[in-house]
Structure 1
Amino acid sequence: MKNTQSTSWQSAALGIALGIIVLLSLNSFIIINPGQAGVISILGKATDGALLEGIHVKPPFISVVDVYDLTVQKFEVPAESSTKDLQTLSARFAINFQIDSSEVVQIRRTQGTLENIVAKIIAPQTQESFKIAAARRTVEEAITRRTELKDDFDLALSQRLDKYGIIVLDTSVVDLTFSPEFARAVEEKQIAEQRAQRAVYIAREAEQEAQAEINRAKGKAEAQRLLAETLKAQGGQLVLQKEAIEAWKTGGAQMPKVLVMGNDKTSSVPFLFNVGNIQSP
């Protein structure tokens, strides 16, 4: 009977020992996957040196391992600022970033979790960086020169996040909006510009028409001068005869049925009349 009880106790003790060994084994190792880094905290104190991918030994029961994702993270962060002309400009940025593996321990000591990093570091620094970029230009310049605005924002954000062990890979302006008052001002400005352009077009058209009249007047004067010189030359009477005939044609009158020329060959204008106008006695 005593032997049976002794055997039972031994079996129980052996089972307990094996259980403790298994439990210790499970709590003595940690596996870090690719793209991750871990920080061991023993009794609440973070140890130096990050744990990179692979299997690592840790003190059982008294240690905790915080694992950080080192792959590219993406978060959208809103921001609002006043421009150089004191207009309100709102934006929403998509920020791609990575945690520097060499700074993981410091990040754990100062910031904690990834959620804290976004809420306490990235979001406020995004706001401040946007203020720097927006304050350098008017709201119209911010909209028409969006690339320059983004470049200034990227530079300011990278410089601010670098000291926290956060590497900015890329940013995108998801949305950029301005106040309704400015929207109305833009619309009114566009209407005024269109009216001004129309007025300029009308003025230019009138100027061109006036110039055309001047050119026509000059051309007519030149033609008259040439005609006068031609009349002075020999054979000028032929020109006068041609002009007289053309005048009858363009005036719509019937050509005379009788053409009477003077005896003097130097007569410059033919004497023309319509015999139909002669009344019988």
Structure 2
Amino acid sequence: MSAVALRGPARLVVRQHRLVLWVSGALALVGVALVAGAWWFTSSAADDFAGTGCSVQHTVTGCGIQVRHFLSIELHYARLVDYAALIMAALPALIGLFVAGPLIGRELEDGTYRLSWSQSVSPARWLAARLAVPGVLTVAGVAVLSAVYAWGWSRTHETHYPSASSEPLVHGAMGPVPVASALLGLALGALIALLLRRTLPSMALTVAVSLALIVVREAVRPGGHFWPLQLTETTTLLVLAAATALAFRVLRRHHA
């Protein structure tokens, strides 16, 4: 999203936080490259191992070192996928942290929002711009990361260390659930910032609430097939994300 193609408050949001946006995009690209590169390395190791004539299932004399080396590479790939799932689970808290802190909380605490409001920008439009910009980037970015994770996870089934889609962190890192979860983190960050109107308390409470929601989700998620559970959880998260409407009500109450 280019600041040149935007106008008004949305363009200002991008210009004010372009460093954070660039860094976030760069980190996402690094993550994608890391998963793709790790699988390329693992796949190449599998080809090399197949060329030795050794077998994991029927190890023969002289193949012990090759088997251990090959299994070690596959295990490292499986662990990388686990770490990626953990990062995906933390994304809502990180997005909420950014919204509650630098994006909204700091302007409310410092009073810099008054400059925008004095230039024919209504409070509602000011808030809408601060939610629309990260909202669009969140949907696009998290959707790509979710797809890349799903691809990387599926490759574990070609190794000796497959992981099931029913595993808590795995389920929450694929499909539409991470996108809905990230939007909920954005909405919570905005609502908490408008309620507390202070940067650090807003950031701390947003992280605490986001992490608590993750724990609750993992604890109460029922068993069942992957897609029905994905659709049910996504719907629930999007309904909760409608808390954004509460943020506008809070803003209207304080600045009617």
Q: Please report the TM-score for the alignment, with normalisation by the length of structure 1.
A: 0.25
Q: Please report the TM-score for the alignment, with normalisation by the length of structure 2.
A: 0.27
Please tell me whether Structure 1 or Structure 2 has the larger radius of gyration of its CA atoms: 1
Work out which structure has the larger RCO, using CA pairs closer than 8 Å and 6 or more positions apart in sequence: 2
- Specify which structure has the higher proportion of helix: 2
